[in-house]
């Protein structure tokens, strides 16, 4: 039996989603980082032929995703660090960004269809619902940001050669 | 109401986009190594698929069908999906830069996801109303996300298992997804499609 995995592994334990980023700028007690990311698919065996890799790794795209963390560890420009976000943060962020606009879109469409029974009016109502939902999601995202739920945390300095898929 | 729920149930489970229609297999194998990536990808795909279904229905009904431009349907829908992805990316970035940092990486992958194009084309062929189209797209995307999350959970466990060397990596993943497909075949007799 000991050839197999440790059966005591607790898969329900709270985990942290980790990533690797490079320090690109230091401003006082704040460090600006750009994430290192091969591709979000984690580089499968077909990576060389995969169109997503080229799209997801352009310098401008990564530069757009730069973020800041508190520089309590005296980081220097060029250093690679491991940062983390709490596991449920991604779910909260996805709900704020996608589920709220979808819910308002469907609700507006269903109400319009029930009230008027016209596809044209339903379509217009869905577009209006989407816009309203995006407004609500903006407020929710701001609330999460103020609470600090979306902030990445510094975990440690990355080992030489360490990648986000290891 | 009941028929809408049955439609979504059918789209999600009976005719599952990955295990029933065999669309979107690239993300199913590619982004399921980690559960968080699967959740992010699933949510983003749900949003894009729904908005693309709405846009596709509108363009087809008011432009392609009246002017008999059906032969341009595929290329038009590819353009719609690419535009929807760009629009979503811009909106998420504008709405919240923090959310964009977390979720932005999944969006470009959807442009090349054949499940989105497949469902959008299927909706036009089925000649559904706009509400039915959108609900069908949401149901399909929820089924897609469900399979991604289940498969990612299984693969996270497989990663710590002592798999025989011959089966390690993609081979055991293919065996697992085959078993998952067999399990989903259990829904096919429900006849709600």
- Residue spans of the domains in chain A: they are 16-157
The more confidently predicted of residues A49 and A157 is A157
Distance CA A25, CA B98 (A): 18
Closest chain B CA to residue A49: B26
CB of A155 within 8 Å of a chain B CB? The answer is no
pLDDT category at A164 given cuts 50, 70, 90 is low
Across the interface, whether the CB atoms of B43 and A52 are under 8 A apart is answered no
pLDDT at A166: 52
Residue of A nearest to B90 (CA): A64
The complex scores an ipTM of 0.84
Asked whether the beta carbons of A58 and A88 are under 8 A apart, the reply is no
Q: Rounded to an integer, what is the distance from CA B39 to the centroid of its chain?
A: 12
Q: How far apart are CA B151 and CA B129, in angstroms?
A: 33
- pLDDT value of residue A30: 83
pLDDT band of A163, cuts 50, 70, 90: low
Supply B5's token pair.
């729920």
Q: Residue A71 is encoded by which pair of tokens?
A: 């520089």
Burial of A103 (0-12, 13-18, 19+ CB in 10 A): middle
Residues of chain A with Cβ-Cβ distance to B50 below 8 Å are 102, 105
> A78 CB near a chain B CB, below 8 Å?
no
Contact list in B for residue A95 (CB cut-off 8 A) is 43
Confidence at residue A5, expressed as pLDDT on a 0 to 100 scale? 45
Residues of chain A found within 8 Å of residue B91, distances taken between Cβ atoms: 134
The helix or strand, by DSSP H or E, that contains position A67, with its residue range, turns out to be strand A67-70
Pairing mode of beta strands A80-86, A30-36:
unpaired
pLDDT at position A121: 94
Higher pLDDT, A153 or A98: A98
Q: Which of A87, A97, A91, A95 shows the shortest CA–CA distance to A18?
A: A87
User: If pLDDT is split at 50, 70 and 90, which confidence band does A62 have?
Assistant: low
Task: Report the range of poorest mean pLDDT among A2-11, A28-37, A73-82.
Answer: A2-11
> Nearest CA to CA, how far is B43 from chain A (Å)?
6
pLDDT digits (tens, 9 = 90+) for B79-115: 999 999 888 888 777 776 766 766 666 777 787 788 8
CA dist., res. B13 & res. B7, Å (int): 10
| Per-residue confidence band for A130, with pLDDT thresholds at 50, 70 and 90 | very high
Q: What was the pLDDT predicted at A109?
A: 93
Sites in chain B below the pLDDT cut of 70: 96, 98-99, 101-105, 191-193
Using a CB–CB cutoff of 8 Å, tell me whether A131 touches chain B: no
């Amino acid at each position: 039996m000991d050839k197999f995995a440790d059966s005591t592994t607790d898969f329900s334990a709270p985990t942290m989603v980790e990533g690797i980023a490079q320090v690109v700028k230091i401003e006082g007690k704040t460090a600006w980082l750009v994430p290192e990311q091969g591709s979000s698919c984690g580089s499968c065996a077909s990576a060389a032929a995969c169109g997503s890799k080229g799209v997801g790794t352009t310098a401008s795209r990564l530069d757009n995703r730069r973020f800041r963390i508190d520089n309590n560890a005296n980081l220097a420009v060029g250093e690679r660090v491991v940062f983390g976000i709490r596991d449920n943060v991604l779910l909260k962020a996805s709900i704020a960004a996608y589920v709220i606009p979808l819910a308002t879109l469907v609700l507006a469409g269903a109400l319009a269809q029930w009230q008027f029974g016209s596809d044209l009016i339903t379509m217009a109502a869905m577009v209006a619902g989407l816009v309203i939902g995006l407004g609500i999601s903006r407020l929710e995202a701001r609330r999460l940001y103020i609470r600090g739920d979306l902030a990445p945390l510094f975990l440690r300095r990355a080992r030489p050669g360490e990648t986000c898929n290891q | 109401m009941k028929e809408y729920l049955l439609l979504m149930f059918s789209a999600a489970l009976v005719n599952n986009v990955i295990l029933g229609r065999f669309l979107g297999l690239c993300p199913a194998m590619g982004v399921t190594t980690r559960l968080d990536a699967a959740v992010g990808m699933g949510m983003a795909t749900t949003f894009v698929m729904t908005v693309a279904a709405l846009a596709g229905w509108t363009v087809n009904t008011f432009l392609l069908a009246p002017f008999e431009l059906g032969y341009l349907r595929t290329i038009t829908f590819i353009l719609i999906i690419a535009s929807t992805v760009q629009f979503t990316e811009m909106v998420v970035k504008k709405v919240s830069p923090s959310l964009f940092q977390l979720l932005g990486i999944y969006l470009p992958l959807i442009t090349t996801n054949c499940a989105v194009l497949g469902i959008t084309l299927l909706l036009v062929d089925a000649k559904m109303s706009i509400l039915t189209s959108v609900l069908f797209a949401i149901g399909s995307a929820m089924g897609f996300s469900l399979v991604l999350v289940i498969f990612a959970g299984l693969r996270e466990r497989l990663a710590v298992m002592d798999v025989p060397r011959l089966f390690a990596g993609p081979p055991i993943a293919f065996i697992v997804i085959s078993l998952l497909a067999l399990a989903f075949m259990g829904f096919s007799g429900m006849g709600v499609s």
